[in-house]
Structure 1
């Protein structure tokens, strides 16, 4: 058996029939809902339960991450938007015009994450503009997390429907 054949059997390029793709999708959304604006969500729950130093730590790390996100958007925002738009549109053309399944799989991973990134920037701007801290900050981060989880649920649902359709289509007609 050829070495390349072994590698391509291990890493099936038909993404939607590959277990590793679905594991990556689950890890991606699990991480996205755990890291709220770059802050681990367990810090939010700890601050709500214990108070004191945990609240100060949460306020400090949120402030640091808000400043970091907003600095990135202010200094490299236009370049990031242009690069992201170019990459996503290139993937979309490869995925749906040329019918490249690997590009389809990447689109279903990356396109919703652009929404999450935009939501994170919006939340960061709101936290800075309103000077949110303490219980109001906890509520804002919990709302942000629920919105990310909502995007994740819709994304996983649409991806699974498309993946099942793709597998049935290839299985019946391919």
Structure 2
């Protein structure tokens, strides 16, 4: 048995029947909803409950991350848009036109995260321009988290449907 066959036997390239894909999907969305604009969401709860230094830390961290996102968008936004668009288009073509299951799986992870990225850019702009503090900042971060979770729920649902379809259709072909 050659090296290529051994690797592809150990790493199943049929993504939707692979447990690791579903673990990655769960960790991805769990992390995305916990880290709201680069701020761990437990800091929001602590700032609301304790106030004082915890609230100031949250405001500082949100301001720093909003400025960071703004800088990245201003400096490399056009290039990032082009690269991400090309990457997603390539994945979509490989996956859904040419039937490469790994490309379908990566697209179903990357495309919704791109939507979350756009939502984060909007939140960063609002934080940067309005400079909310206290309850107004907490509301901004909470809405960012809610929208991230909505995108995540729709993404997980669509990915699960597509994965079941792929597993059932490929199972019927090989069975």
| TM-score interval, normalised by the smaller of the two chains | over 0.9
- Tell me by how many angstroms 1:5 deviates: 3.4
Partner of 1:65: 65
Compute the TM-score of the two structures, normalised by the length of structure 2. Answer: 0.96
1:55 is matched with 55
> Deviations for 1:38-91, whole angstroms, at most 9, x for unmatched residues?
111111111011100000000000000000000000000000000000000011
SS at match of 2:133: coil
Matched position secondary structure for 1:13: coil
1:21 alignment partner in structure 2: 21
Identify the residue that residue 38 of structure 2 maps to in structure 1. Answer: 38
Structure 1 length as normaliser, TM-score? Answer: 0.97
Q: Structure 1 residue 106: deviation in Å?
A: 0.5
CA deviation after TM superposition for structure 1 residue 9, in Å? 2.5
Q: Which runs of 5+ in 1 are unaligned?
A: none
1:123 aligns with 2:156: no
Q: Deviation of residue 139 (structure 1)?
A: 1.0
SS at match of 1:85: helix
Name the SS of the counterpart of 2:132 in structure 1: coil
Any unmatched runs of 5+ in structure 2? none
Deviations 1:104-158 (A, max 9, x none): 0001000000000000000110111212111110011011101100100000000
* Number of the residue aligned with 1:173: 173
How many residue pairs get aligned? The number is: 174
**In structure 2, distance between residues paired with 1:134 and 1:121:** 20
Write the distance in 1 (CA, Å) between the matches of 2:37 and 2:150: 16
Structure 2 Cα separation of the partners of residues 133 and 7 of structure 1: 52
